[in-house]
Amino acid sequence: MTTRIEKRAAAVDGPPNLVDYEQARASFSWEASRHELDGLPDGGLNIAYEAVDRHVRSGHGSQTAVIWRGKAGARKEITYADLERLTNQLANVLASLGVEAGERVYSLAGRIPELYVCALGALKHRAIFCPLFSAFGPEPIAERLQLGEAKVLFTTERLYRRRVAQIRDRVPTLEHVIILPDPKPKAPKGTIDWNDAMGNASAEYRIAPTDPEMPALLHFTSGTTGTPKGALHVHEAVLTHYVTGKLALDLRPGDIYWCTADPGWVTGTSYGITAPLVNRVTMVVDEAEFDPQRWYGILEEERVQVWYTAPTAIRMLMRSGPELPRSRDLSNLRFMASVGEPLNPQAVVWGYEVFGKPFHDNWWQTETGGIMISNYASMDVKPGSMGKPMPGITAAIVREGDDGRLHAVDDPKKDGELALRPDWPSLFRGYWNNQDRYDACFRDGWYLTGDLARRDEEGYYWFVGRADDVIKSAGHLIGPFEVESVIMRHPAVAEVGVIGKPDPVAGTIIKAFVSLQPGRQWSAELQKELLGFGRKNLGTAAPREIDFTESLPKTRSGKIMRRLLKARELGLPEGDTSTLEGGSS
């Protein structure tokens, strides 16, 4: 396995935004970066103004902001001037409904243009925007609407009829449901028609002064137990979105950029709406679900330059083979990045072999609001590594000392909990109505991520596993991600999920669940071969049991749900499965 992919020579289209990592870290300040944004004319900082209006003010209104690809073949371009007009109308619609600053406006829709207008219009009106997965069933929808005390919901006629109507009476705060024009133009009784509402709204809107600390975004993230957590972010988060889009994703004004994430989770808003628009790029939005042929077609036809996608999608592209991408003209691709869960080394190398450039992994969480650790265009990539901390971010590996306090670990052979100094703009400001849960995330001047990691001699960070996923077997602590990455090297294996299983002798043994590459069949012989492959390459960290599964349970954001694998194996309660891919409809 390749241990390092060296940085390429300067690209023909100019050097990356971050040229010298150490110099950038030494000279960086959030305050200086803040001056690269405009701020509101009357003072303050508003995400929607920085993402849309300021570009129109500076003469770029005619630039395309969004290229929308419909699943049935439609294609639509929306300029920055169009987006300003539409979001102004949306803000006026909210004002006419009596929505006040700080009240919660929800969306439940697929990747249609109106969803993006809802998000930015709500932010412009200083409401708190909360996106929901369009694949959620009625119960998780009701729970999140109740938890956030929703006042307005934007959704489609189909989703309203199938999932919302039956639970609407359970959300007493929900005063207005606005039906988006997809697929039917008219709204059911008791709802508001989008076309009627927008048609009666003025295209002129003045954004009120917005304090940078004013709440802006509410993202629900599922825990292993209990109710979903609502992470609250403020308007100042736009500064992190701007800086990380520029430095971690190398976004440049005028770029064609495609983030494949759904706005129903945090990447789809932070890097599928805010970061690209604040950096004045043209972003591609695809309504359809994953399809290799379609994806490669979009990359070629839209001449995508920066592509941000998920490890699960990359592994599925790997399964479809290298012939498809090699049959397309993808010469415009300048930078490829991955997010959602750690990217296996094989996928990084595959990207380099097939596209001539690696996928650049990065690490962050819903709670951090933006990228914290990344592989940069100007740096060597170590396949399997998260990379190095962003300028402006102080990270460390910490362990509890004899004095009961947390201390940074300098030994590259030792892992510990990944911790961050809580001083960047997009750090969440609370869990909705749950102060105790929020306070528990901070200790001794650190934000504790709950992820175990290590830092090597060159300062690259390596993911070991979630603290509650790490396996202790025969006295050894074993990270499931490392085991999964090794088993994936076997040519028959497409994906792997690893858990710890109770054992009367070892205490816990490692069990792996594998899905196979197309054309490969599960058999006792292959099972034996995989067990031997694991022993040869992993020694005491090898799986003692390996079973076949058609597919691994994943969240809609692509993370393997190891706790669900474990619950099913041991017959335990499955807990919150509302974000499970392909869940109830």
Distance (Å, whole) CA 558 – CA 351: 18
**Where exactly does CATH 3.40.50.12780 map onto the chain?**
21-455
Comparison of pLDDT for 503 and 164, the residue scoring more: 164
pLDDT at 553 > cutoff 90: no
Mean pLDDT across the stretch 245-258?
98
CB 191 within 8 A of CB 202: no
Quickly state the pLDDT bin for 223 (edges 50, 70, 90). low
**What mean pLDDT value characterizes the chain?**
92
What letter does residue 207 receive in the DSSP assignment? P
Contacts 24+ apart (CB under 8 A), 472-476: 472/500, 472/507, 472/508, 473/500, 473/503, 473/506, 473/507, 473/508, 473/509, 473/510, 473/540, 473/541, 474/506, 474/507, 474/540, 476/540, 476/541
**CATH entry 3.30.2010.10 includes domain 469-570:** no
Closest by CA position to 578, among listed 143, 168, 106: 143
- 457-502 pLDDT, tens per residue? 999 999 887 776 777 665 556 778 778 888 988 999 999 999 888 8
571: CB partners within 8 A, 6+ apart: none
Q: Which of 193-202, 292-301, 307-316 has the lowest mean pLDDT?
A: 307-316
Q: Which amino acid is at 11?
A: A
Give which of 156, 141, 154, 157 is closest to 94, Cα–Cα: 154
| Residues 397 and 452 sit within 8 Å (Cβ to Cβ) | no
pLDDT tens digits for 65-83?
999 999 999 999 999 999 9
Query: In this structure, which CATH number among 3.90.1150.10, 3.10.20.740, 3.40.50.2300, 3.40.50.12780 belongs to the domain 21-455?
Result: 3.40.50.12780
Ranges of CATH 3.30.300.30 domains, the chain:
469-570
Q: How far is Cα 90 from Cα 68, in angstroms, rounded to an integer?
A: 19
- Average pLDDT, stretch 516-542? 90
Residues 426-444, mean pLDDT to the nearest whole number:
96
Q: Are 233 and 429 contacting, i.e. CB atoms less than 8 angstroms apart?
A: yes
Residue 585 has what pLDDT? 34
Among the residue ranges 5-19, 263-277, 436-450, 517-531, the one predicted with the least confidence is: 5-19
Q: Which helix (H) or strand (E) holds 145?
A: helix 138-148
Q: Is 393 helix (H, G, I), strand (E, B) or coil?
A: coil
pLDDT of 505 reads: 67
| Dist CA 233 CA 218 (whole Å) | 6
User: pLDDT for 131-147, tens place per residue?
Assistant: 998 988 888 899 899 99
pLDDT of residue 152: 98
Note whether 340 and 314 are within 8 A (CB).
no
> Does pLDDT of 184 surpass 70?
no
Position 517 confidence tier, pLDDT thresholds 50, 70, 90: very high
Q: What is the DSSP letter of 110?
A: -
More confident residue, 13 or 372: 372
In sequence order, the β-bridge partners of residue 323 are none
pLDDT of residue 10: 47
Encode pLDDT of 317-346 as tens digits: 998 999 999 999 999 999 999 988 788 899
Mean pLDDT of 260-286: 96
**Integer-rounded Cα radius of gyration of the chain:** 24
Q: Which residues contact 230 (CB under 8 A, 6 or more apart)?
A: 130, 144, 147, 148, 218, 219, 220, 431, 432, 433, 434
Q: How far apart are CA 128 and CA 118, in angstroms?
A: 11
- CB contact at 8 A, 399 and 405: no
- pLDDT at 572 (0 to 100): 78
Over pLDDT 90: what percentage of the chain? 75
Which residue in 450, 454, 455, 538 sits closest to 498, CA to CA? 538
For residues 235 and 395, give the distance between their C-alpha atoms in angstroms, rounded to a whole number. 23
**Cα within 13 Å of Cα(110), Cβ side:** 17
Going by pLDDT thresholds of 50, 70 and 90, the confidence category of residue 583 is very low
